[in-house]
Structure 1
Amino acid sequence: MTVLAHDLEHEDAFLADAQQYRRELLAHCYRMTGSVHDAEDLVQETYLRAWKSYKNFQGKSSVRTWLYRIATNTCLTALEGRRRRPLPTGLGAPSSDPVDDIVAREEVPWLEPFPDDATDPSAIVGSRESVRLAFVAALQHLSPRQRAVLVLREVLQWKAAEVAEAIGASTAAVNSLLQRARAQLDAVGPSEDDVLVPPESPEAQDLLARYIAAFESYDIDKLVELFTADAVWEMPPFDGWYRGPHEIVLLSKTHCPAEGPGDMRLIPTTANGQPAGAMYMRNPETGVHEPFQLHVLDVGADGITHVVAFHATSFEKWGLPDHL
């Protein structure tokens, strides 16, 4: 066997082994960017960089650690000069009046939902808190380097020295970045007391089923029973957000394009490790139900505490049909 053929064989073996980390690298890049589309591109770039620099890989760390280092720096480069991805509640405006006009802000690079891996339930449970919408939205308030340090230290449990080597900083700088990131996350992130009910639990499944039934039967008033008193509703790309079950119901009655039972159909699913409903809206011209919104729910002990209704043009990433 020639030296070239031997090297190519080793490279192929390395890349085949490295593919097992693709899903977790996708979640890592999603935490950094807040966009599943950007994350997919950045994972591709990570593997390309890994392939090109494979000959320089000396085995001083595991392949997994090496790939995370490349992915982190790929994200940091991509985030230079980019605006953060917020949810409407992160824009700093007060809650909106549900009967006012709703305004779409298409120029805002909104936070995107993250599809769970239906083929590997253990991966969903293992990464649930770290891809939770509220956590990823809070990460967007941090600088890219603060994000990188916090995720590597708090989510991946790397040592400060390992993070320092990965991002080309001193250990002291890493500790300082982490301290500032934690302080900012405490101010904007989910409370430690805010414990979500797992999506596979009977409580979450029951609430999701009742939520879906209320929309499908166009019994919007039923939603009042499902939301907690201070529940929040938001639906990017519209920039408003709404607090309280009565405000949410009034919003739905005022602005929802559905006119009666059967206009909306929802398929239960999960996103960001949370219960979700893929909503299809009937097209009045064709009678076909087309992708309309993906509702991602925060379910607490007392009911639904938060809904983000993302605009949807396709449910392909959730393995769902493009029409009903």
Structure 2
Amino acid sequence: MTLATDDDVFSALVEPFRGELTAHCYRMLGSVHDAEDLVQETYLRAWRSYGKFEGRSSVRTWMYKIATNVCLTALDGRARRPMPTGLGQPASDPRGTLESRPEVTWLEPLPDRVVWGGSSDEPEATALHRESVRLAFVAALQHLTPPQRAAVVLFDVLALQASEVAELLDTSVAAVNSSLQRARAHLAKLDRESQERAPELDDARKRALLAEYVDAFERYDVPRIVALLSADVVWEMPPFTGWYTGAEEIGALIETNCPAERPGDQMLVEVSANGGPAFALYMRDPVDGVHRAFHLQVPTLGADGVTHVRVFFDPGLFARFGLPEELPAEHLARARALQQDGGVAPAE
């Protein structure tokens, strides 16, 4: 008979919380890389203090207190992670010059696989959890002070009582309530996608819209892409500082700046990010014909089509999503077929 060690007991108690703690740290920091590092630090601190844990709170609450303090320490003196729409500048000219600022620590997308194992078929109980890592919400959180972020996440996302939040943050209930009131008012102005959300699409319509979207991009059919966008769609793509609005304007942006020239030049591979669908785009190199990692798109869907597209021009993100640098072999046949048939859409 093998006796359980302290390591075994500790792991059994805390390991089930790794995914949700990663999501918690991501909401606070806006970076999956930082979130994973801070979760590791959380587990290290928890192990060191495990002998002093007296069970006056649940293990989950205890772990969240450690993780929150780790995040607040990490955020001390750091600049927030913005998206281009959060820089305070008006929409850009789609035919103008693109300005890139790779030195800015931009907001990053969250691969679902690091929180939920990559499954897209989660039970209803996780709906709020997925909603709480939407890019629009996380981007809005970045405009709050770190203590305000912590208060909002602990109270509104994790549904802790104000007294529990006060204890976790080592402050008073009155201070927590005051911080929440200010933070919620600020978030209401920033997270417009929550305030002005269109009716939810059913799953069949979502799948159909996404399939059309992928097909239009892979055929490099710009008029069809434009037709799938809502009239007031927003497009942004860090590290480029500009953002764009309007379906026709975004069509002009694609025609002016996209290096694709014909069907099959760009191929999309579906992944899951921030609780919803996302696409890794591979662009064909005109020199050697190899499709390589180009950017990652996270679209938001509405009743009138695609309402917001956040495009991340960071090929380094592909590895985070478990993707290779070159187009996976199972997609090559479709790329060749599109190139051979000229990308003509099949008859209805």
TM-score bin (small chain): over 0.9
1:269 to 271, 274, 279: 271
Distance in 1 (CA, whole Å) between partners of 2:159 and 2:296 is 32
Listed one character per residue, the Cα deviations across residues 156-178 of structure 1 (whole Å, up to 9, x for unaligned) are: 00011111111111111111111
Pair 206,119 (structure 1): closer, same or farther in 2 beyond 3 Å: closer
Q: Is the 8 A contact 2:235 2:243 kept in 1?
A: yes
Q: Is the 8 A contact 1:15 1:51 kept in 2?
A: no
- Note the 1:106-121 alignment, pairs <5 A: 106-116=102-112, 117=116, 118-119=118-119, 121=121
Distance in 2 (CA, whole Å) between partners of 1:39 and 1:130 is 15
Distance in 2 (CA, whole Å) between partners of 1:196 and 1:235 is 26
Counterpart of 2:195 in structure 1 is 192
Name the amino acid aligned to 2:84. Answer: P
- Note the 1:1-324 alignment, pairs <5 A: 9-116=5-112, 117=116, 118-119=118-119, 121-122=121-122, 125-190=127-192, 191-195=194-198, 197=200, 201-314=203-316, 315-324=318-327
Q: Is the 8 A contact 2:300 2:308 kept in 1?
A: yes
TM-score, normalisation: structure 1:
0.94
- Residue segments in structure 2 that go unaligned for 5+ positions in a row: 328-348
Secondary structure of the corresponding residue to residue 240 of structure 2: coil
Q: Is the 8 A contact 1:95 1:240 kept in 2?
A: yes
Name the amino acid aligned to 1:224. Answer: V
Secondary structure of the corresponding residue to residue 110 of structure 2: coil
Secondary structure of the corresponding residue to residue 49 of structure 1: helix
CA apart distance, 1:247? 0.4
Listed one character per residue, the Cα deviations across residues 144-193 of structure 1 (whole Å, up to 9, x for unaligned) are: 00000000000000011111111111111111111110111111113334
CA apart distance, 1:278? 1.0
Pair 196,266 (structure 1): closer, same or farther in 2 beyond 3 Å: farther
Secondary structure of the corresponding residue to residue 294 of structure 2: strand
Name the amino acid aligned to 1:245. Answer: A
Listed one character per residue, the Cα deviations across residues 56-92 of structure 1 (whole Å, up to 9, x for unaligned) are: 1111111111111100010000000101111100000
Give the length in aligned residue pairs. Answer: 318
| Segment of structure 1 superposing worse, 28-37 or 206-215 | 206-215
TM-score, normalisation: structure 2:
0.87
Runs of 4 or more above 3 Å deviation: 123-126, 195-198
Q: Is the 8 A contact 1:196 1:299 kept in 2?
A: no
Percent identity (aligned): 57
CA apart distance, 1:10? 2.7
Secondary structure of the corresponding residue to residue 228 of structure 1: strand
Pair 256,107 (structure 1): closer, same or farther in 2 beyond 3 Å: same
- Residue segments in structure 1 that go unaligned for 5+ positions in a row: 1-5
Name the amino acid aligned to 2:269. Answer: I
Pair 38,185 (structure 1): closer, same or farther in 2 beyond 3 Å: same
CA apart distance, 1:12? 2.9
Secondary structure of the corresponding residue to residue 26 of structure 2: helix
Name the amino acid aligned to 1:143. Answer: T
CA apart distance, 1:196? 7.0
Pair 308,120 (structure 1): closer, same or farther in 2 beyond 3 Å: closer
Listed one character per residue, the Cα deviations across residues 260-304 of structure 1 (whole Å, up to 9, x for unaligned) are: 111100012221112211100112232211111111011011111
CA apart distance, 1:119? 4.0
CA apart distance, 1:195? 4.6
Q: Is the 8 A contact 1:36 1:114 kept in 2?
A: yes
Distance in 2 (CA, whole Å) between partners of 1:119 and 1:302 is 27
Q: Is the 8 A contact 1:204 1:275 kept in 2?
A: no
Counterpart of 1:3 in structure 2 is none
Name the amino acid aligned to 2:58. Answer: S
Distance in 2 (CA, whole Å) between partners of 1:291 and 1:157 is 39
